[in-house]
Amino acid sequence: LARDTKLGRKVALKVILPDRIGATKAVESFLEEARMTARFSHPHIVTIYAAGEFQGCRYLALECLEGQTLRQRIREQLPGLKESLRIALAVSDALAEAHRREILHRDLKPENVIIPKDGRLRVLDFGIDKALHPEQDSETGSTLTIDPKSLSAPVEKQSLCGTPAYMAPELWQEEESTHAVDVWALGIVLYEMFVGRHPFEEAKGGSFSASLLAAVLNPDPVLVDAAARNQSPDFAELIELCLRKDPKERPTAEQLVDRLNRMISRGERVVSPEDSPFRGLQPFSEEHSAYFFGREAETAAFLERLREDPILPV
């Protein structure tokens, strides 16, 4: 936590640890994150204010977000269906924006989704992004060293990027990375949020295990538990589509945005142009709820505040 002395605002500083300053790859990865994140101006992607160096220490200055990570929220209490849909839509929208700019996140997980007190979700840590165009490519991100003898399927290279529990089958097999790798990771995140556990929980173990790899590469489809499916068959189907083993069968982020918008608006009364929202002294009831729109941001912030404040004057 720091303060921008020029503008007087709080910022979050991200720095490379001093003992890693000498690592050229770490510095380049750091700067690449700054360049890529700075391309975005999106309500659900963390804003980067500046990148610089002080006494040999590289830093990024990002917007300061007070709140919880999605991981903390899930551990505290599983979100209800409406909130799950809202979270899914926000993250999908952020990915759609990145994909339109030909950028992959490649490390999406609940820890990289922040639910601030203003109620507007942000996706952060594009530290393992990769530009799809070769001229923009960079070998960034954390490295996972694997002993091929411990695996039940061959892996030609000995380094992979990403968090194992959220890596798509094609990443494990060192195949071409496409938008679909982010959609797979989103599917895992939504599964955890909806069901309350990782889809490969029994195989996951620690950060990496051969059993996790075997489960991910198993051709059998990933299915949502029957108990969770009963809450919303449509949401369960959407999650299963994201977790198709064949990347070509997964929906795009834009398709997810469209589908989630329709799921959220389903059942709402369509307001006719002839209808008037001004009822004078007549009472409003639930059937008039379609007239109340345009305050979604305030509603989300209101709900986040109520998590901490027992009384909130409006």
Residues taking part in catalysis:
107
Q: How far apart are the first and last CA of the chain?
A: 30
C-alpha to C-alpha distance for 301 and 314, rounded to whole angstroms: 12
Long-range pairs for 100-103 at CB < 8 Å and ≥24 separation? 100/254, 101/39, 101/40, 102/131, 102/132, 102/133, 102/136, 103/36, 103/39, 103/129, 103/130, 103/131, 103/132
C-alpha to C-alpha distance for 46 and 219, rounded to whole angstroms: 36
Which residues touch 162 (CB under 8 Å, ≥6 apart)?
A: 106, 107, 128, 141, 142, 144, 171
Compute φ and ψ for 182, nearest 5 degrees: -70, -35
